[in-house]
Amino acid sequence: MSMKPETSAFDIDAAQHGGYLYTEGAPLSSQLANKRLSDIALSLFDFKSKQILDLGCGDGTYTKELFDRGGPTRILGIDPARRAIDIAQKKYNKGESISFAVGNAYQLEYAPDSFDLVHVRGVLHHMSNPALALKEAFRVAPAVLVIEPNGNNVGLKMIEKLSRYHREHKEKSYTSRKLKNWIGEAGGNVTIEKFAGFVPMFCPDWMARMMKRIEPAIERLPILSAAACAVYVLVGRRSA
């Protein structure tokens, strides 16, 4: 089955800004939001001495962060956006330990169990067939870590409609139930799940600071976190 990955808006970002808008010269809100995503990923899976595939790595900024902070033996970042991969290769490529390549998530060019984990950060909501991408991820690794916008959050749904960036990049979000269903359809079981983050990207600095201060309290309350947190994070493991 051949499916063309979606790249256009992100290729334009890479060409015009030398990277993605939320990494190059990112406002405080994006810095805080993205650090929380890296923190939560590293807290839910032990990257040390593992083989990691970073699916949809973009310009490589967070692939490099995971490599530096997590200590995997090897991390490979792939993305369909050619210009973004060119930037990642120039900035961060270090041969076998950290490398980048253009790749299609629907048809991964790797043998079964080539990796210990596929890291999928903010990627599925840009895809036309997320379930197929997850199935491929479980083919090449026994574990998948997914970070996605929290589709249970009504405020986030409003931002998707009103924000120019979100419209241009066709941003959308899915409920936690739908994401868990896709994991099951792909042959996996959800072993860990968490709602995290409270700071929205591209909001004013004063708002970002205020929301960051109350973020820990929001995350600790189960019902509130499911409705108000920015992202839903899960670790899925291949079914026996």
Q: What is the CATH number of the domain that holds 193?
A: 3.40.50.150
Answer yes or no: is 2 within a domain: no
Report the number of distinct structural domains present in the chain: 1
- Give the separation between CA 127 and CA 142, rounded to whole angstroms: 22
Answer yes or no: is 223 within a domain: yes
pTM, two decimal places = 0.86
pLDDT tens track for 189-240 = 999 999 999 998 778 899 999 999 999 999 999 999 999 999 999 999 999 7
pLDDT tens track for 76-85 = 999 999 999 9
Answer yes or no: is 44 within a domain: yes
Answer yes or no: is 42 within a domain: yes
Answer yes or no: is 169 within a domain: yes
Sheet holding 51-55, edge to edge: 98-102, 74-79, 51-55, 117-121, 143-149, 231-238, 188-196
Domain that holds residue 145: 8-238
**Band of pLDDT at residue 96, cut at 50, 70 and 90:** confident
Answer yes or no: is 127 within a domain: yes
Answer yes or no: is 191 within a domain: yes
Would you state the structure tokens that stand for residue 114, as one six-digit string?
A: 């080539």
Which residues touch 231 (CB under 8 Å, ≥6 apart)? 37, 40, 147, 148, 149, 150, 195, 196, 197
Answer yes or no: is 1 within a domain: no
